[in-house]
Chains A and B, each alone.
Chain A
Amino acid sequence: DAKTTQPPSMDCAEGRAANLPCNHSTISGNEYVYWYRQIHSQGPQYIIHGLKNNETNEMASLIITEDRKSSTLILPHATLRDTAVYYCIVRLNFGNEKLTFGTGTRLTIIP
């Protein structure tokens, strides 16, 4: 699987949009981009995934660049409960491949 690069930490003011970047410059055509988060002491929580089109669900939006070498997870109106470690993962689009977690971005929402 391709590797990802994320900033180790970010702060965001409560109520503002949190934009979390991820670089995956070696991603191949058959790999999806997945985002999970882990709130302290809890199990990882699935957020969103995409291949090449932008995606949106009730939790977040995922913007993938046209060359697919990077993406941005957007939490539109961050709350204190969004404080967590966010993981960007690339994963093959066939089979049921394991998830390879990196170090993620520790997002802190500031009141």
Chain B
Amino acid sequence: NAGVMQNPRHLVRRRGQEARLRCSPMKGHSHVYWYRQLPEEGLKFMVYLQKENIIDESGMPKERFSAEFPKEGPSILRIQQVVRGDSAAYFCASSPVRELETQYFGPGTRLLVL
């Protein structure tokens, strides 16, 4: 059973460009969470999605950031008009349908904005 997959593992963007980060949850998991880790800081929750629904986006910046988890395909975290402060590691986690299930994390995408 493959774990949580994230791609790309490394992404370099220039200021003003768009960044798209993809997350494929573990097989059988329909809940996806995105977390961000700024350099030398802890992980911060961003958004929690189920298939086609955003459940909790309390940690998402109000502008430029969006997330989706379509019926088919991976979850996408999209950052428009990136700025240097967006440089961070972005981690995706997934969990099964049942409540209080453990979240399993992917390897992360390291975004560098030049």
A: residues with CB less than 8 A from B are 32, 34, 38, 41-46, 49, 87, 93-96, 98-104
10 cross-chain pairs, A with B, having the tightest CB-CB distances, nearest first: A43-B105, A98-B45, A101-B43, A101-B42, A44-B105, A43-B107, A43-B108, A43-B91, A46-B102, A96-B31
A32 near B100 (CB under 8 angstroms)? yes
A104 near B59 (CB under 8 angstroms)? no
Which of A44, A45, A96, A101 has its CB near the most chain B CB atoms (within 10 A)?
A96
B interface bracket (residues with beta carbon within 8 Å of A): 20 to 34
A95 near B99 (CB under 8 angstroms)? yes
Interface of A (DSSP majority class): loop
* Cα(A45)–Cα(B42), bound, Å: 14
B101 near A96 (CB under 8 angstroms)? yes
Query: Can you list 30 pairs linking A and B with CB atoms under 8 Å apart?
Result: A32-B100, A38-B43, A41-B89, A42-B107, A42-B108, A43-B91, A43-B93, A43-B105, A43-B106, A43-B107, A43-B108, A44-B43, A44-B91, A44-B105, A45-B105, A46-B105, A49-B102, A93-B100, A94-B99, A95-B100, A96-B48, A96-B55, A96-B99, A98-B45, A98-B48, A98-B56, A99-B103, A100-B45, A101-B44, A103-B42
How close is A29's CB to chain B, nearest CB, in angstroms? 14
Partner of A99, one of B45, B106, B108: B45
* 4 extra A-B contacts, CB within 8 A, seeds A38-B43, A43-B107, A95-B100: A45-B105, A96-B55, A96-B95, A101-B35
Q: Mark B23-59, 1 if CB is under 8 A from A, else 0.
A: 0000000010101000000111100100000011001
| Complex contacts, A43 vs chain B, CB 8 Å | 4, 91, 93, 105-108
Partner of A102, one of B35, B42, B105: B42
| Complex contacts, A49 vs chain B, CB 8 Å | 102
Closest to A95 in B: B99
Partner of A98, one of B33, B91, B105: B33
| Complex contacts, B93 vs chain A, CB 8 Å | 43-44, 99
* Cα(A49)–Cα(B104), bound, Å: 13
Partner of A46, one of B33, B55, B91, B104: B104
